[in-house]
Structure 1
């Protein structure tokens, strides 16, 4: 399997006039500090730890909310099988345009939209469900009602045995995911700026029938 560095070279291209990832991230932090949340992208150690529990051999659809400059994307693409797909969803049109310019892997799709619409987006791309969903969204600063709506839709869209992977800088995010995921693992990643809370909300088989995907 190729290394993450190899995939990053393969998946990213530099278009004249397009900023570097660090430049883009810093520009968007200055424009939307509440939504971006951190002045620097996630560390390599956070990425490895967050993705560690994923069963890549049985992953056909991986979804990410709030990909930003695509810090996680090369690592995800590197681990995915050739027939899998990565869909990223962001409300920031600048980030989506940037990702479409810089990531050329055919398994990659960038969608400008809301994570609350994940069920429709997954269906629109020919899937019945997602195997895993990753989120770095700042749940505690989202408009009222949006965080709970995203958590509920995510629980519905994930297959039994899959998981909601959440990294956050405040432990309050657990309040959003706990009503929908009763089996939650938690760790800290101190080698990150700022230190991050990591959660894995697992969807049990018993939860599948009670919360089907909705139109």
Structure 2
């Protein structure tokens, strides 16, 4: 059925979880990934990869001994990704982003360097968005970041409870235009959270 067909069917089956009727533009992809320090990225995690719009660009930039770990609640997307992405650095997990800490540990890591999310925070069930933001902050290493792109500003409020430094962006060349945030886990943030 091809990536567009799989993506569209996933949207029709569960529009609340997919969030958009079309995948992200190359402009959004390039801007979101431009802040990543690829030389020092061993584990990159993505929530809601859909049909892999970000997966291939991430793998193209990633070091040879790195890992791209993607998590999605849609079994159709996971099956499609496992079938179409043949890269030893790629792992697709059927599960919830709220369980990211357990999933990361199960794949041999303690921390993630970066976590990318296009999950539609504004339509997630009550309590799920804040739980994902908290778990994400815990799983990211110091110096790493939570990269979020959304069509509404709701996700930023969840991020701001955990990430003190958040860079903002807007990508107009996307359908629809999207907000972008990079939440950095700085050393001082970690010390303040522990106090």
TM-score, structure 1 as length reference: 0.88
2:24 and 2:53 in contact (8 A); partners too: yes
Q: Pairwise mapping of residues 1-215 of structure 1 onto structure 2 (< 5 A)? A: 19-208=1-190
3-state SS, counterpart of residue 64 of structure 1: strand
1:159 and 1:203 in contact (8 A); partners too: yes
2:115 and 2:146 in contact (8 A); partners too: yes
Moved more, 31-40 or 148-157: 31-40
Distance in structure 2 (CA, Å) of the matches to 1:165 and 1:155:
11
2:164 and 2:189 in contact (8 A); partners too: no
Q: Measured at CA, do residues 78 and 158 of structure 1 come closer, stay the same or move farther in structure 2, by a change above 3 Å?
A: same
> C-alpha deviations, 1:143-166, integer Å up to 9, x for none?
111100000000000001100000
Deviation at 1:210, TM superposition (A): 6.6
Deviation at 1:206, TM superposition (A): 2.6
Distance in structure 1 (CA, Å) of the matches to 2:191 and 2:89:
30
TM-score, structure 2 as length reference: 0.97
Distance in structure 2 (CA, Å) of the matches to 1:34 and 1:91:
12
In structure 2, list runs of 5 or more residues that go unmatched.
none
1:156 and 1:208 in contact (8 A); partners too: no
Distance in structure 1 (CA, Å) of the matches to 2:93 and 2:43:
14
In structure 1, list runs of 5 or more residues that go unmatched.
1-18
Distance in structure 2 (CA, Å) of the matches to 1:197 and 1:95:
24
Distance in structure 1 (CA, Å) of the matches to 2:119 and 2:34:
20
CA RMSD of aligned residues (A): 1.2
Distance in structure 2 (CA, Å) of the matches to 1:124 and 1:103:
21
3-state SS, counterpart of residue 27 of structure 2: helix
3-state SS, counterpart of residue 45 of structure 2: strand
Greater per-residue helix proportion: 2
Distance in structure 1 (CA, Å) of the matches to 2:114 and 2:147:
7
3-state SS, counterpart of residue 67 of structure 1: coil
Deviation at 1:33, TM superposition (A): 1.2
